[in-house]
Amino acid sequence: MGSNDGDEAENGGEGGGKEEKIYVSVRVRPLSSKEIEKNDHSDWEIINNTTLIFKNSLPDRSMLPSAYIYDRVFGYNCDTRKVYEEGAKEIALSVVSGINSSIFAYGQTSSGKTYTMNGITEYFVEDIYEYIDKHEERKFFLKFSAMEIYNEAVRDLLSSDSTPLRLLDDPERGTFVDKLTEEMLRDRSHLKELLGICEAQRQIGETSLNEASSRSHQILRLTIESSARQFRASSLSASVNFVDLAGSERASQTLSAGTRLKEGSHINRSLLTLGTVIRKLSKGTNGHVPYRDSKLTRILQNSLGGNARTAIICTMSPARSHIEQSKNTLLFASCAKEVATSARVNVVMSDKSLIKHLRRELARLEDELRYVGLIHKTTHVDELKEKDTQIIKMEKEISELSQQRDLAHSRLRNLLSSVADDQASRVSDESGGVPVHHAHNPSEDGHYSRYWEESSQLSVYHAVTSEDESSVSEASGICYRSPEFSISKFKISNLNNIIDPNQQPSLVARVPENSTGSARNIPQNTYKSLETASETSEASCKVVQCVEINGSIQNKDEFSHLLDEDCDNFLPKTLDHTVTGFGLALEHHVRVRQASVDLVKGASSFSATCEENLVSGSNSFGLQNQEKGFPRTENLPSGTYSIEGDTESEEPSGVLPKLKNSSDKPLKVRSIETPDKLAMVQGTRNWEKKHRGRHSKTASEAAIPSISDLVEELKEMDQVQHQNQLTKNQELPHTSNENYKDERNVKDGRRDPLSSFSDSPYEWPLAFEKLQRELIELWDAYNVSLIHRADFFLRFKGKPTDSSYMEEERMFLKKMLSQESETETLSSRKNELRREREKLHKCMLKKLSSTEREDLYKKWGIKLDSKRRRMQLAQRLWTDTKNIEHVRGSALLVARLNGHLEPEQAIKEMFGLSFTLQKYQQKSSIWKRISSFR
Ligand SMILES: Nc1ncnc2c1ncn2[C@@H]1O[C@H](COP(=O)(O)OP(=O)(O)OP(=O)(O)O)[C@@H](O)[C@H]1O
């Protein structure tokens, strides 16, 4: 063990501690006088400073080891100073460097522990104060405490109170003795004084081996704190323990008994625990170390395996008589030599320095916080900038989208305006309730344009376009549109030489420019054929017509002549399934035509109205090419629907009149007509030419049977169409736009009942009720026969297909009312109505039982005891036209009294006669029946 000025230990021990083996030395005392007296021999030989040899002179000891090596072996003549200098000083003085240290004296009783430890303490006190004296730059604080463990009780050696002290455990301090006196040392003399007290306080007893045997374990603790005088930021604090253990003893040797035996028992037990701890620690295992098995090991735990430097001086007697005890001591020393401790420098911060240190630490943490905050702030700013960029980008996109939306709205408004113009133009050109679509919207390139309706699937055009007065072209084409695609074919022929340049074309058609561009689902060969066809031009084309079917068409072959042979490829096959729409339209137009036929009997103004919209002259229809200008209709339910130009000599008999080319005169276009409309008008004209003013029913009666059959067939198709429409509308959201529909479908008081209601089943019930009430009022105003009212009222109960009949009835009555306002005529009708009531009153007696009559009297509020009760009942029929239940009751009673209207005949009768009510004197079938009541 070298010199120790503290610097080495401080440097090496700072921080986590420096592991160091316990410094173990053996001191062999000389034989005592008693041992010599007993002629006891020494078998030990110290051959050098570290080796001790047992001179194996005894035969029974041959098995013992002969050489013992330790850190230092002090022989018989070695004085205590040298033991201190070489076996304790360096470690003991570590305390001035802030390192805990412990100096142990271990050995058999009377082996010289107290003798050695007293000397070491004395030398240490001298050295420590010498050290303090040498280090004036530091200020030292020395505290001294002393305790003994006697019979496993801790006693304060600096206190006169022998009350045992408790051992407490502290997380930082470890195990400590509660209330142990700790004296602050003033100087070395003070320490010596205290050491004297401890020696005086310690339990000493006389045994056979030692007149002043220490019967307790003594622990002297000197705590030294030091700090630099100029810089007191920190101080060093450490304790040095000088432990003089009680000596192990054998009771037989010490001849102890009583108290000494008890003392020896505690001594041996505590030393046994110490030996166990040392042995455990020496093995370096992490197993359990029984520190707590004794107060000695608990108090010295830190010195044995913790934060301390430790030196153990094992004392032994060389006498042969103590060979066993000596070998146990050497065995203990050998184990202790393997135990390592980890001493470190214990630095204590002063309050002031601690505050200063804490302030510096606080400043450092604040700097870190600011740095972290700056980083976060920077990150936040970057995120905000990125979001601002996104916002700007999104605002730009919104602006662009808004512009696109406004543009789309503008286009939509223009489109709607064009459609509205188109609708207005169409309505203005209607002459018989037939929708003909016109448009007069020249595009920028000079062509006229038009848009088709949303409901259109197929449109067949044959129209004229004009860029200027000198360049007029004919365009014929067919356009098909489905939810998936739209497609068009257009063929243009120059008509400069055949069109009257002074006459502006009234109808032009334009297929939407993108119609073919969106036809991606069309077979490629079809598309090519269309392109090829569109490039074809036929200069000889002269026909200017347009056939437009909204909704569907019966057979593509009907229109194939408007196209070339490629049409078969681009007309969709689905056309074959769309039959009923065309049939429905045709039915309506045929009915109108038939009504016209009836009306024009006798200078009908209705035919004149129709005629106003027709072309004038002998070639009024302008049809010069039947093959291209008009569809063949051989597949229609009845008759031939083509029209031949010269019909002057034709008599409509059984079939509709035919249209054919009439002349090669310059084409004069005013209107584009559908074939059935043209047929209707032509039929009217033909009939008018033959029968005007004669009131003959020949033509109409000849036409009625076939038309009626046609109506029946078409009515069936109408039902199918109606069901299809219902299904379609149920799949679509319902949007009511009644005002628009009214505006669209009403012109001069005339509504197109088909376009008004048949495609709007949700609107029809309300419209039916309204129309029904209107008819009731009109019947009442016109004094229409009660039988007619009843039959009509009960026959048409609200099916959408009733709309046509009811509308025609309404139009007729309004027309009649406007034309026959003379008082005389109205008075005549009142008389007719009065006579009809009288007839009904007479029928009651035959048709109704007495019970039925009484029930009716009660129901109708007629007193049973009153007179002329049947006449009262007849007079009350159809009097409250505002009350629909009253009207219904009246209708039922009249029908009951009438009794023989066949449903199958009703439609024929109604339409055969309803339009001729003003001429009921002509004795049509129903009025003949009415007359039968008279
Ligand atoms: N190295 C030595 N040189 C001369 N005398 C010694 C030496 N060591 C011990 N002695 C003497 O031996 C006797 C016993 O010593 P000491 O009391 O120190 O033994 P001990 O180990 O403390 O005994 P115990 O355990 O019983 O207290 C004392 O009289 C002492 O003076």
265-314: per-residue pLDDT in tens?
A: 777 788 888 888 888 888 776 778 888 888 999 998 888 878 889 999 99
* Average pLDDT estimate for 820-834: 75
Choosing from 529, 546, 576, the residue where a domain stops is 576
Ligand 1 pocket test: which of 74, 108, 210 has the largest number of ligand atoms within 8 Å of its C-beta?
210
866 within domain boundaries: yes
pLDDT at 103: 94
- Domain's final residue, options 382, 417, 452: 417
| 334 and 406 inside one domain | no
Scanning the structure block, which residue is given the tokens 């197929």?
A: 458
Would residue 711 count as lying in a domain?
no
d(CA 881, CA 894): 15
Please report which helix (H) or strand (E) contains residue 30, including its range: none
In our burial notation (b when 16+ CB lie closer than 10 A, e otherwise), range 328-346 reads: bbbebbbbbbebebebbbb
Is 673 inside a domain boundary?
Answer: no
How far is Cα 905 from Cα 921, in angstroms, rounded to an integer?
A: 20
713-717: long-range contacts at Cβ-Cβ below 8 A with a sequence spacing of 24 or more?
Answer: 713/583, 713/637, 713/638, 714/583, 714/584, 714/586, 714/587, 714/590, 714/637, 715/587, 715/801, 717/579, 717/580, 717/583, 717/584, 717/587
Provide the ipTM. 0.98
| Domain presence at residue 408 | yes
Q: Are residues 324 and 374 in the same domain?
A: no
Percent with pLDDT over 70 in the chain: 54
How many Å lie between the centroid of ligand 1 and the Cα of residue 319? Answer: 13
Cα separation of 758 and 863, whole Å? 46
pLDDT digits (tens, 9 = 90+) for 490-523: 444 444 433 343 433 333 333 333 433 333 333 3
Q: What is the CATH number of the domain that holds 69?
A: 3.40.850.10
β-bridge mates for residue 46, sequence order:
52
CA triplet 84, 89, 94: central angle to 5 degrees? 160
What's the domain range around 361? 350-417
Please answer whether residues 209 and 110 qualify as being in contact, where contact means their C-beta atoms are separated by less than 8 angstroms: yes
Domain membership flag for residue 747: no
Whether residue 744 is predicted with pLDDT greater than 50 in this model: the reply is no
Q: Give the residue, by CA position, lying nearest to ligand 1 atom 31.
A: 115
**Residues β-bridged to residue 144:** 183, 222
50 is an annotated ligand-binding site residue: no
Query: In angstroms, rounded to a whole number, what is the distance separating the alpha carbons of residues 447 and 465?
Result: 6
At 311, which amino acid appears? Answer: A
One domain, residues 455 and 391: no
Tokens, residue 924: 């049509």
Spatial separation of the C-alpha atoms in residues 505 and 668, rounded to whole Å: 8
Alpha carbon nearest to ligand 1 atom 12, residue: 112
Q: How far apart are CA 922 and CA 701, in angstroms?
A: 13
Cβ neighbours for 404, distance < 8 A, ≥ 6 positions apart: none
Residue 296 alpha carbon to ligand 1 centre in Å: 22
Query: 300 alpha carbon to ligand 1 midpoint, in Å?
Result: 23
Find out whether 296 and 274 touch, Cβ atoms under 8 Å.
Answer: yes
Query: Does residue 566 contact residue 653 with C-beta atoms inside 8 Å?
Result: no
The response to whether 2 counts as a known ligand-binding position is: no
Does 113 appear as a known binding residue? Answer: yes
Pairing of the two strands 101-107 and 234-244: parallel
**pLDDT confidence of 816, banded at 50, 70, 90?**
confident
Residues 394 and 297 in one domain: no
Answer yes or no: is 624 within a domain: no
889 shares a domain with 808: yes
pLDDT (tens digit, 9 = 90+) per residue, 860-902? 889 988 888 999 999 999 899 888 889 988 888 888 888 754 4
Q: Are residues 409 and 430 in the same domain?
A: no
Query: Strand pairing partners for 23?
Result: 311
Residue 85 pLDDT grade (very low, low, confident, very high; cuts 50, 70, 90):
very high
Whether residue 815 is found in the same domain as residue 903 = yes
pTM equals 0.44
Tell me the average pLDDT of the chain. 65
Domain total for the chain?
A: 4
DSSP state of 438: -
Q: Is 107 annotated as a binding residue?
A: yes
**Which residue owns the Cα nearest ligand 1 atom 2?**
29
- Residues 473, 344: one domain? no
pLDDT computed for residue 72 by the predictor:
94
Buried b (16+ CB within 10 A) or exposed e, 352-380: ebeeeeeeeeeeeeeeeeeeeeeeeeeee
How far, in Å, is the centroid of ligand 1 from the Cα of 46? 19
* Per-residue pLDDT at 447 exceeds 50: no
Q: Are residues 565 and 477 in the same domain?
A: yes
Residue with CA closest to ligand 1 atom 26: 213
Can you tell me the distance from the alpha carbon of 820 to that of 823, in angstroms, rounded to the nearest whole number? 9
- Secondary structure of 186-237 in HEC code, one letter for each residue: CCHHHHHHHHHHHHHHCCEECCCCCCCEECCEEEEEEEEEEEECCCCCEEEE
Rounded distance between C-alpha atoms, residue 35 and residue 641, angstroms: 160
Reported confidence tier of residue 241, pLDDT bands at 50, 70, 90: very high
DSSP 758: I
Rounded distance from Cα 324 to ligand 1 centre (Å):
18
The Cα-based distances of 225 to 3, 81, 230 in angstroms read 21, 26, 15
User: At 375, is the pLDDT very low, low, confident or very high (cuts 50, 70, 90)?
Assistant: confident
Q: Which atom of ligand 1 is nearest to the CA of 207?
A: 26
Cβ of 908: how many Cβ atoms within 10 Å?
18
Give the residues surrounding ligand 1 with Cβ less than 6 Å away. 29-30, 32, 107, 109-115, 210, 212-214, 246-247, 315
Tell me the per-residue pLDDT of 402-428, one tens digit each, with 9 for 90 and over: 888 888 888 777 777 766 665 555 544
Q: How far is the CA of 801 from the centre of ligand 1 (A)?
A: 140
Using DSSP's 3-state secondary structure scheme, residue 459 falls into strand
Tokens representing residue 512 in the block: 């939407």
Burial of 497 (0-12, 13-18, 19+ CB in 10 A): exposed
Among 307, 331, 348, give the residue marking a domain's end: 348
- For ligand 1, atom 9: residue with the closest CA: 112
Closest CA to 699 of 677, 684, 678, 681: 684
User: 916-934: per-residue pLDDT in tens?
Assistant: 333 333 333 333 333 333 3
Q: Which residues of 441-459 are buried (b: 16+ CB within 10 A; e: fewer)?
A: beeeeebbbbbbbeebbbb
- The residue to mutate among 76, 108, 110, 326, having the most atoms of ligand 1 within 8 angstroms of its beta carbon, is 110
Residue 547 has what pLDDT?
34
Secondary structure of residue 494 in the 3-state scheme? strand
Backbone angles phi, psi at 224, to 5 degrees: -125, 125
Residue 676 domain-assigned? Answer: no
- CB-based contacts of 272-275 (< 8 A; 24+ apart in sequence): 273/297, 274/106, 274/245, 274/300, 274/304, 275/332, 275/335
Closest CA to 669 of 495, 490, 536: 495
Residue whose CA is at the smallest distance from ligand 1 atom 20? 110
**Residue 167 bridge partners (DSSP):** 177
Task: Specify the pLDDT at position 232.
Answer: 64
Cα 686 to Cα 683: distance, rounded to the nearest angstrom:
5
Dist CA 225 CA 141 (whole Å): 5
- Interval 81-98 mean pLDDT: 92
DSSP 49: S
Contact 613, 431 (CB under 8 A): yes
The annotation status of 114 as a binding-site residue, yes or no, is yes
Distance CA 888, CA 878 (A): 9
Whether residue 355 is found in the same domain as residue 422: no
Confidence of residue 725 (pLDDT cuts 50, 70, 90): low
Distance 52 CA to ligand 1 centre (A): 20
Q: What's the whole-number mean pLDDT along residues 555-580?
A: 35
Pair 498, 568 in one domain:
yes
**Could you tell me which residues are beta bridge partners of residue 240?**
101, 222
3-state secondary structure of 51: strand
Residues 766 and 865 in one domain: yes
* Beta pairing partners, 222: 144, 240
C-alpha–C-alpha distance, residues 353 and 495, integer Å = 115
Residue 210 alpha carbon to ligand 1 centre in Å: 8
29 CA to centre of ligand 1 in angstroms: 8
Per-residue pLDDT tens for 200-234? 888 777 777 777 788 889 999 999 988 887 766 67
Kindly tell me if the per-residue pLDDT of 358 is higher than 50: yes
Q: Nearest C-alpha to atom 3 of ligand 1 is from which residue?
A: 29
Q: N- to C-terminal Cα distance for the chain?
A: 158
Inside any domain, residue 585: no
